Every structure is written in C-alpha cells, then in structure tokens.
Amino acid sequence: MNRAPIARVGVVGCGVMGAGIAHIAARAGLDVRVVVSSPVGVPIGFDRIRRTLEQDVRKGRLGEVDRDAALDLIEVTADIERLADREFVIEAIPEDENRKVTLLSRIGEVLKEDDAILATNTSSLPIGRLARATRHPDRFIGVHFFSPVPVMPLVELVSALHTSEWTRARTHDLLVDTLGKTPIDAPDRAGFVVNGLLVPYLLGAMRMIESGRVTADVVDQGMTLGCAHPVGPLRLADLIGLDVVKAVAEALHREFGEPQYAPPSILLRLVEEGALGKKTGRGFHTHAQ
C-alpha cells in the first residue's frame, strides 16, 4: 500500500461543507478537483470557494499571493469521471441517505487507483450502512468536518466494521500532517460523538420556545450569559443549518427511537418554509445576507 502523502484530492459537492473542504485542501498545497451535479453549478461552486478564501484574506489569515496559489490548485467540474486519478475522495452532499448511497456507488466505479480512499462527510448516518454501497468497504471511512471548515479544528474520524487500519491511519495522517486538523476516533453510531450530545440540547431549546412562554433571544441569552457558552443553542442551530439539524435528528430518532431525538414541529415548519438559518437569512433569528 502507498505510504507517500496524499497529493490528489476529490470533493463531491460544493455547498458550504464541500467548498470548505476544497478550501483547506488547496491551502495545504493539494491538487483539488471538485465535482458538482451539473455544468450550471461549475462557476457557482468555484465562486463559493473563492469567497471563502477571500474571507481569509479579509481577516488576515491569508495573503493575496497564497489565495491565488490556492485557487490555481482547484478545478470544478460536472464530470464525475474526472475523479478517476484521485487518491482520496470525500462525498459532501446533503444528509439524504438514498442520494449518498447512489453517489458513493457511482464514485466507487470511477476510482481507478488501487488504493484510493473513499470518504463521506456525513454528520449523522452510520458509516457501515453507507459502506455497503461501495466496491471496497475496507477503503471507506467517515470523515466528519465541522462548519466553518477552515476555522473549526475538530474532525470526527469514523471507521466501520470493514474499514482497514491502513485506511484509518492514512486518513488520519492527511487530516493531521497535511490539513492541520485534530481528529478524534468516533464510534460508528448515528450522530457519532458531537451530534449525539449536541442535537438533543438544540432540540430541547426549540421545544422550550415552541411552548410560547419564552423567546429565542431569551433562551440564547440564558446559555451565553448564564452558562458562558460562546453562542446560544438557537443561534447555533441557525449557523449549522436547520435542514442539517432536522436530518441529524431524524437519523438519531430512526436509530434509537427515543423521544428526545424527534424533531419538534417548529423545526419541521421552518425547514418546510425554507427558513434554514444563516444561509437563507432567516431561521430562529434573522441574519444579514
């Protein structure tokens, strides 16, 4: 098996998470190829990555020369066959198990490298279940980044039953030595470690305001000023994306069947209405766009 550092990375999906992963990979000097679902999405995806790099420039974390160098390492395409030569590919589409299974199966057919690793950025779905869609489950692993990817240091590294130790070790080296992240080994269960703890807390805050006796501002102030949390639960849910919180809650509820994991009605209504939090400008709070 290849022991040289990974140099060619593929990212499938270019939403907030996919763009963030492409961003940090290019900043680390990797050859990055991003696949989007249609030709229309190619310029949109590239512009999204460019804007995340521009934000680093504005905040003094990156110089203009380094920004340009990173952009030169990124290709955005709608041709999934362009993943054939990648050494490491991560799927980063929304939390829809059927879509992920179909896509992971297709990516597995495309990869030509004998030791290419296929990863998923799922935030909630058990890795073993997704691994069944792949041709080489021994080279499949969960790599759950946190948003915003360029800023958050933690990554949950999730091995399934058939994930080889070589795959885990090689992915760990990529995360630590190349991307500068801090991985933790998480169990292969819905929600892993962080969302298994976090999502019931967020849902509890939603149920509290659903009662009509307290506002979102009061709940958030209670936790920031009373418990020294850097951000309140409802503002945090908006930052994560209410569609993502809903998907994770549903995965947890499906696996464990406990009432605390069931998404409350107020969350379902907001998602149905397209009020997904910061990315749409409205959720439990209003956000500038």
End-to-end CA distance of the chain: 47
Q: Please give the single-letter amino acid code of residue 236.
A: L
Catalytic residue among 91, 95, 156, 250: 156
Q: Are 180 and 145 in contact (CB under 8 A)?
A: no
**Annotation marks residue 81 as catalytic:** no
Q: How many CB atoms lie within 10 A of CB 177?
A: 12
Residue 98: in which H helix or E strand, if any? helix 97-110
**Annotation marks residue 121 as catalytic:** no
**Residue 231 structure tokens:** 């951000």
Catalytic residue among 123, 124, 159, 253: 123
Catalytic residue among 121, 124, 159, 195: 195
Q: Give the residue from 51, 283, 42 showing the smallest Cα distance to 150.
A: 51
Catalytic residue among 87, 97, 121, 144: 144
Query: What's the rounded Cα separation, in Å, for the pair 154 and 284?
Result: 26
Secondary structure of residue 76 in the 3-state scheme: strand
**Annotation marks residue 162 as catalytic:** no
Residues noted as catalytic = 123, 144, 156, 195
